[in-house]
């Protein structure tokens, strides 16, 4: 990331050309000068204005489009910002970018530089920025909902509340140390500090005890197809993903290794895993495939236990969330199709019967894995920071005979660990990694 903070940066912020409309974003102290040069004036803030864009040196018309101006600090980056909405042809975009590049103090933005300036100018903390990155990358409804909550400050508000409470607790302790002889400092001034720290620790522990649900929404749930050979696992996978992802033959044992496909099921990002058929076999390769199938099913978020004869003996791992799926119902007569048996869902991959019901059932089962609360950890960086802060508070609680000065230092360390999560404390080493996730123009 460039250190030239005084430069005015610009970039194409919309999708690749050609397109109906292209949005070119500018940010920095030279935005007003750039607008005056290209369109002859600075428009009223936050009001879309139709203007002609001209080349700085020749006054040649480049295009005619909408121009928006956002005066800092009330803008995305905290600086003066402008957006030029021009026609999305490659030549038009190239001509406008070329014109901007000729202006004094202007340069092309680097990846994530607009967002980094927003962070450095206090317009967003690191958790909000990570939420924004997740929102841009969201492919499912659940991912979108989780990302928007984080981008809107859900985690920031929680973590900053904890940090401020710990800072207050430390201030109470230091007041007791520094002003113990003062008449206006109560004798029991430190007691609320220990209570506050204990309360924050309990809340942190509950926050961490989430079965990594936020990461699973962000990265995807895992649904494993499990059952004997020729139960229709591969056929069902192909039907759900609507392509030939797995080989289907009448020969038992065709699938010997795990086959994974990513898809959106009822708003959830899902990795669907086809597995080897469960049976006794002399084949070393097939036995290894069956062992992998059982291991994967044991860690899956949901197991679809398949059977073509209403028998699920030893198919479902103990304690696993599962749906019993009766397959190949197209081979049954009309009376048999109406008999429910022990199956939760009855489907035909060939005819598509029951597939919509199965998709809804999978979505409902994943919803029950854990209801989505307001705040969820979505990244290992966040989890590690909260765990580190909690570790200091647990150390504080373990030994009540420590010197008060040591306890105050543990509170400072716990607050600083939280500050690193939000970006309030010493995060320079993290910034390049985080902002590298963004594209040019964001």
pLDDT at 333 (0 to 100): 66
Average pLDDT score over residue span 402-424:
89
Beta carbons of 31 and 82 less than 8 angstroms apart: yes
Tokens of 210: 């989430």
pLDDT at 432 (0 to 100): 62
Beta carbons of 266 and 240 less than 8 angstroms apart: no
pLDDT at 188 (0 to 100): 63
Q: Are strands 259-265 and 81-88 parallel, antiparallel or unpaired?
A: unpaired
Beta carbons of 214 and 378 less than 8 angstroms apart: yes
pLDDT tens digits, 29-52: 999 999 999 999 999 999 999 999
- Number of residues assigned to the chain: 442
Nearest CA-CA partner of 369 in 239, 223, 152, 173: 223
CA-to-CA dists, residue 313 to 252, 307, 317, angstroms? 18, 10, 10
* pLDDT(308) > 80: yes
Question: For residue 281, what is the DSSP state?
Answer: -
| Mean pLDDT of the residues in the chain | 85
Beta carbons of 85 and 13 less than 8 angstroms apart: no
In whole angstroms, what is the distance from residue 417 CA to residue 434 CA?
Answer: 17
Bridge partners, residue 221, by sequence: 270
Average pLDDT score over residue span 65-90:
96
Regarding pTM above 0.85, the answer is: no
pLDDT at 314 (0 to 100): 63
- 3-class DSSP state for residue 180? coil
* pLDDT(160) > 50: yes
Nearest CA-CA partner of 117 in 31, 9, 33: 9
Element of type H or E holding 52 = strand 49-54
pLDDT at 224 (0 to 100): 92
pLDDT tens digits, 359-412: 999 988 887 765 556 678 889 999 999 999 999 999 988 876 778 888 889 999
CA-to-CA dists, residue 159 to 16, 177, 193, 246, angstroms? 37, 27, 18, 45
């Amino acid at each position: 990331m460039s250190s030239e903070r005084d430069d005015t940066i610009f970039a194409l912020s919309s999708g690749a050309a050609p397109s109906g409309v292209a949005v070119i974003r500018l940010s920095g102290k030279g935005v007003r000068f750039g607008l005056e040069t290209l369109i002859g004036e600075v428009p009223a803030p936050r009001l879309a204005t139709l203007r002609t864009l001209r080349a700085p040196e020749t006054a040649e018309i480049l295009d005619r489009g909408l121009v928006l101006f956002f005066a800092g600090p009330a803008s995305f980056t905290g600086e003066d910002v402008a957006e030029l909405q021009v026609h999305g042809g490659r030549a038009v975009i190239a001509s406008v970018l070329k014109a901007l590049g000729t202006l004094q103090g202007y340069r092309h933005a680097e990846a994530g530089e607009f967002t980094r300036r927003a962070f450095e100018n206090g317009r967003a903390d690191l958790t909000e920025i990570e939420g924004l990155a997740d929102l841009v990358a969201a492919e499912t409804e659940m991912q979108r909902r989780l990302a928007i909550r984080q981008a809107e400050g859900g985690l920031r508000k929680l973590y900053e509340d904890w940090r401020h409470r710990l800072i207050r607790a430390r201030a109470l302790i230091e007041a007791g140390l520094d002003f113990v002889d003062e008449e206006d400092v109560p004798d029991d001034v430190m007691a609320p500090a220990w209570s506050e720290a204990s309360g924050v620790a309990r809340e942190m522990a509950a926050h961490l005890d989430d079965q990594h649900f936020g990461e699973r929404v962000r990265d995807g749930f895992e649904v494993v197809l499990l059952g004997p050979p020729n139960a229709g696992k591969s056929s069902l996978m192909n039907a759900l993903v609507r392509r030939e992802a797995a080989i289907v033959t009448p020969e038992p044992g065709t699938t010997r290794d795990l086959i994974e496909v990513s898809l959106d099921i009822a708003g959830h990002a899902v990795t669907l895993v086809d597995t080897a058929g469960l049976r006794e076999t002399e084949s070393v390769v097939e036995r290894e495939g069956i062992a992998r199938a059982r291991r994967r099913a044991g860690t899956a978020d949901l197991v679809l236990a398949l059977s073509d004869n209403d028998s699920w003996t030893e198919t479902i791992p103990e304690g696993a969330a599962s749906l019993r799926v009766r397959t190949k119902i197209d081979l049954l007569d009309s009376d048999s199709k109406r008999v429910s048996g022990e199956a939760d869902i009855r489907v035909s991959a060939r005819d598509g019967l029951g597939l919509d019901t199965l998709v809804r059932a999978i979505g409902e089962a994943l919803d029950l894995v854990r209801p989505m609360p307001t705040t969820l950890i979505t990244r290992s960086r966040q989890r590690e920071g909260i765990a580190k802060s909690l570790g200091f508070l647990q150390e504080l609680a373990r030994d009540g005979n420590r010197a008060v000065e040591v306890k105050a230092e543990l509170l400072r360390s716990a607050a600083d660990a939280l500050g690193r999560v939000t970006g309030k404390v010493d995060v320079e080493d993290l910034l390049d990694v985080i902002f590298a996730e963004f594209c040019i123009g964001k």
